[in-house]
Amino acid sequence: MPRFWTANRQLIRAINRSTVLNVVKSEGPVSRTEIVRLSGLSPATVSEITADLIAEGLICEKTAGDSTGGRPPILLALTQDAAYVVGIKLAEGHISAAITDIEANILSTLTVPAAGMHAVERAVVTLGEVVERVIAKASVPRERVTGVGIGLAGVIDAEGGLCRFSPILGWRDVPLKKLVEEQIGIPVYIDNDVNTLAMAEKWFGAGQDVDDFLVVTVGRGVGLGIVVNGQFYRGTRGGGGEFGHTVLASDGPLCDCGKRGCLEAYVADPALVRAAQEAVARSELSGVSAAELTVERVTELAQAGNETLRAIFCQAGEILGMGIANLLNIFNPALVIVSGEGVRAGDLLFEPMREAVARCVFDGLGQDTEIVIQDWGDEAWAWGAASLVLQEIFKSPIHARGSEVGLGALPD
């Protein structure tokens, strides 16, 4: 048999396997008959693949509790404890970790302060310790942990496992995947933190049935995850989506990246704090010292009605809305999910944002897009990083990174 033919048969089998697994993930508990109907595969193929998945322990048989007489139907569902994964967000000054089951349910979380992360060796050792601690905290067997996902801000080459540039950590070309794998002996996946959130939304959240959507994060920075035609868009070398560093005014405020007038230099947490401190310096804020102004405090005072601070959020929201209107013009997505720590500001930021979007978007495009402000929890970043590993279990080989395969309709 020619080699390409064997390769194609293996590929088709892998694609069918992914199809069945995803039907069980999204519809389970589900009968084999339903899987046949939903997948379009033949009963023989479904029977063969489900037998394999049961043998691997990824799915299991369940009997329906409620039966209308006769033999109760046998349903298939994901085996929840088939695998556990650890997700980690490496931030400036702290590390958050979560451990989840195969359906991305969080079993346990951990946040530890972490100083000195600029030194790579130190960061790798600390990451290893955090992984062990969160596994121990959840009391799951270490050998069932199939992977560790790490999300961090910056330009990340996910395929090469390389942090190409992280302005916050001061890293350039750090082979993070390899270093942490050597430290812990468990497969490691890394990606830009916003991409990990977009992945979590696509596989387990609001983006599950949406082919074209964007995730915009606000907080320490401003990030963008892009899903087009059901696939992640990363750019040529993983640098796509630097929405926060789109330049609005070349003589604007200085940004972390070294340039002036980036969107995040107006909208991100440090920008809000700086604007509040400047207001103190101009004696526009009474009874407040510049030193006590953290972003949480600034938000609290604005929510309590401080007009000077409300105006700062209003301007930030407006600039964010203009940026999002530009994104709608370029991508025409069905959904924009706004997420990140900055969601804490609520209407202070998002009312002016929505107004600016409506005002600035190209005529006729505004109504196509639903904008959802996501509830934010501290574990969300780590949950996103966990999905980096989980998607490896569910994704189809035709969506694999670096795949050269382009296939139309496939025979069963």
Size of the site for Zn ion (CB under 5 A): 5
CB of 161 to Zn ion, least distance (A): 25
Stretch that binds Zn ion, among 31-39, 197-205, 242-250, 369-377 (CB under 5 A): 242-250
Would you tell me how many other CB atoms lie within 10 Å of the CB of residue 141?
9
Stretch that binds Zn ion, among 96-104, 131-139, 249-257, 381-389 (CB under 5 A): 249-257
CB of 268 to Zn ion, least distance (A): 10
Assess 262 for contact with Zn ion (CB under 5 A).
yes
Beta bridge partners, 97, equal: 88, 110
Stretch that binds Zn ion, among 7-15, 252-260, 266-274, 381-389 (CB under 5 A): 252-260
CB of 221 to Zn ion, least distance (A): 9
**Rounded Cα–Cα distance for residues 336 and 197 (Å):** 13
Q: Which is nearer to Zn ion, 134 or 273 (CB)?
A: 273
Phi, psi of 79 (to 5 degrees): -80, 110
Among 98, 255, 314, 328, binds Zn ion (CB under 5 A): 255
Which DSSP helix (H) or strand (E) runs through 242? none
Among 107, 257, 311, 365, binds Zn ion (CB under 5 A): 257
Length of the chain: 412
Stretch that binds Zn ion, among 28-36, 244-252, 300-308, 382-390 (CB under 5 A): 244-252
Q: Which is nearer to Zn ion, 88 or 262 (CB)?
A: 262
Stretch that binds Zn ion, among 19-27, 259-267, 304-312, 326-334 (CB under 5 A): 259-267
Residue with tokens 């979560």: 98
CB of 346 to Zn ion, least distance (A): 26
Assess 220 for contact with Zn ion (CB under 5 A).
no
Residue with tokens 């202070």: 348
**Rounded Cα–Cα distance for residues 270 and 93 (Å):** 15
Neighbouring residues of 288: CB distance < 8 A, sequence distance ≥ 6? 280, 301
Residue in 100, 101, 42, 45 with CA at minimum distance from that of residue 77: 101
Among 23, 245, 316, 384, binds Zn ion (CB under 5 A): 245
What the block records as the tokens of 65 is 């509790």
Beta bridge partners, 63, equal: 74
**Rounded Cα–Cα distance for residues 76 and 293 (Å):** 54
Residues in contact with Zn ion by the rule CB under 5 A: 245, 255, 257, 259, 262
